[in-house]
Amino acid sequence: MTPVKRIILSCLLAALICQASFIIVKKEIKKYQVHNTERLTELLYNKTPYDVLFIGSSRTHFDIDPEVIDSICKVNSYNGGIEGANLFEFSMMLHAYLQNHPAPQWLVLTLDLHSFTDKKFFNYAQYFSYTKNSVIEKYLNDNGYSTLRLKLFPFLEMTDYDDDTKGFIIKGLAGDSEIDKGDFQYKGYLSNTENHITSQEPVSVPAIMPMADIANKYLEDILQTCKSRNIKLVFTYAPEYKHQIQADVSNSGKILNMISNVAVKNNIPFLRDDTLSICNDPMLFANPGHLNKEGAMQYSVVLAKQINIIIQN
């Protein structure tokens, strides 16, 4: 056999091995990420109309239970919080959602201290399965994550998986799922265990949270989109345990003031839920930035009442 034939045959065999592995990998990841798959499919592909859409980071995802919101506000809501997302991903998610869904009446946007950084995707690889949504495809391609190579060689998607994602395959094979025993999901929400804060977190030296100009452009884009699609906007700042997240960020005051100014200027209600009494109860927090299952239940009741007042007015 000639060397050239050997090279070609090796490449073909490798492609075959990778593609076969990829089919198994995809299946097992879907099996493990049953919650993420379901919610991204709902947000990016389905057409269900919702009255209220929640967009934000993990502090939306784990903190707001649409079942509570729906029952108190008599609306149909969906939790579209994405792990580690900032304004770039908020903006993308809103546009991608509007691609198929009718515009919601209300958009509740949870802004964090890290929402204004210039980082793009927190986990871009999770979107590769949803490139039939043209907004997702455009955002990926525009930010250096080519989708063309994946159309030609789908298995190359695996080069974008980190070890955590690779671990999902093993967990999927073992029959595990990302919904832990005792937890549940409902319309995009995933309950966040019954663990609670047991000890005081060590005090760290506050660091400056970078604020990028581009983030303000994404925020402006969200404002304009809501205006043009007649979507009413509400800003929230999620509960945190005894302001510990803010204590770690030396410019937290500046960031929160900036959000307040935007809210006032555009006549948008801004719910500062870090001042609620539940924020002093360690039994309601899985960690300083995220509520646990019971905390989310209690907070969702409070948030629903706040939203209800806004809707009624």
Partner 1 sequence: MLFNSLGFLIFFPLVTLLYFLLPHKFRWIHLLIASCIFYMAFIPVYIFILFFTIIIDYIAGIMIENSVGENRKLFLTLSIVANVGVLAFFKYYNFFITNVNTLLHSLHMTPGNIPLLSIILPIGLSFHTFQAMSYTIEVYRGNQKAERHFGIYSLYVMFYPQLVAGPIERPQNLLHQFKEEHKFDANNLLDGLRLMLWGFFKKIVIADRISQYTNTVFNHPYEYHYLNLIIAVFFFSIQIYCDFSGYSDIAIGAAKTMGFDLMINFNRPYFSKNIQEFWRKWHISLSTWFRDYLYISLGGNRKGIRRLYFNVAVVFLLSGFWHGANWTYLVWGGLHTIFIFAYMLIEKYYDIKRLSQKKVLVFISTLFTFCLVSLAWIFFRANTLGDAAIMCKHIFGLYHSNPFQLVLKNVAGAISFTKTAMLISIAMIALLFVSEKILPPDLKILNKKYAADILFCSITLSLIILLGVFNNNSFIYFQF
Q: Give the long-range contacts of residues 46-51, CB within 8 A, separation 24 or more.
A: 46/100, 46/101, 47/100, 47/101, 47/102, 48/78, 48/101, 49/76, 49/101, 49/102, 49/104, 50/76, 50/77, 50/78, 50/101, 50/104, 51/75, 51/76, 51/77, 51/104, 51/105, 51/106
Q: Examine residue 14 and tell whether it contacts partner 1 (CB under 8 A).
A: yes
- Beta bridge partner(s), residue 232: 106
And the tokens for 198?
């047991």
- Closer CB to partner 1, 98 or 125, in the complex: 125
Exactly one of 98, 156, 231, 301 binds partner 1 (CB under 8 A); that residue is 156
212's CB contacts (< 8 A; 6+ apart) are 116, 117, 118
Q: Examine residue 254 and tell whether it contacts partner 1 (CB under 8 A).
A: no
Nearest CA-CA partner of 289 in 83, 11, 72, 47? 83
150's CB contacts (< 8 A; 6+ apart) are 128, 131, 156, 157
Tell the smallest beta-carbon distance from residue 5 to partner 1 (Å): 9
Tell the smallest beta-carbon distance from residue 52 to partner 1 (Å): 33
Q: Examine residue 155 and tell whether it contacts partner 1 (CB under 8 A).
A: yes
- Closer CB to partner 1, 118 or 201, in the complex: 201
The stretch among 109-117, 152-160, 259-267, 304-312 that binds partner 1 (CB under 8 A) is 152-160
Q: Examine residue 3 and tell whether it contacts partner 1 (CB under 8 A).
A: yes
- Closer CB to partner 1, 11 or 214, in the complex: 11
- Closer CB to partner 1, 67 or 178, in the complex: 178
The stretch among 15-23, 74-82, 116-124, 292-300 that binds partner 1 (CB under 8 A) is 15-23
With residue 107 as reference, give the H or E element that holds it.
strand 106-110
Tell the smallest beta-carbon distance from residue 142 to partner 1 (Å): 17
Burial class (CB in 10 A: 0-12, 13-18, 19+), 45: middle
Number of residues that bind partner 1 (CB under 8 A): 25
- Closer CB to partner 1, 152 or 313, in the complex: 152
Nearest CA-CA partner of 32 in 194, 161, 205? 161
Farthest-apart Cα atoms in the chain, separation: 80
- Closer CB to partner 1, 17 or 214, in the complex: 17
- Closer CB to partner 1, 13 or 283, in the complex: 13
Cα(109)–Cα(234) distance, integer angstroms: 6
Cα(184)–Cα(190) distance, integer angstroms: 6
The stretch among 126-134, 156-164, 257-265, 269-277 that binds partner 1 (CB under 8 A) is 156-164
Exactly one of 103, 158, 263, 310 binds partner 1 (CB under 8 A); that residue is 158
Tell the smallest beta-carbon distance from residue 125 to partner 1 (Å): 11
Give the dihedral sign, CA 132/133/137/143.
Answer: negative
| The length of the chain, given as a count of residues | 313
Residues 166-195 that bind partner 1 (CB under 8 A): 166-167, 170
The stretch among 31-39, 57-65, 150-158, 294-302 that binds partner 1 (CB under 8 A) is 150-158
Tell the smallest beta-carbon distance from residue 182 to partner 1 (Å): 21
Binding site for partner 1 (CB under 8 A): 1-4, 6-7, 9-11, 13-14, 17-18, 21, 155-156, 158-160, 163-164, 166-167, 170, 204
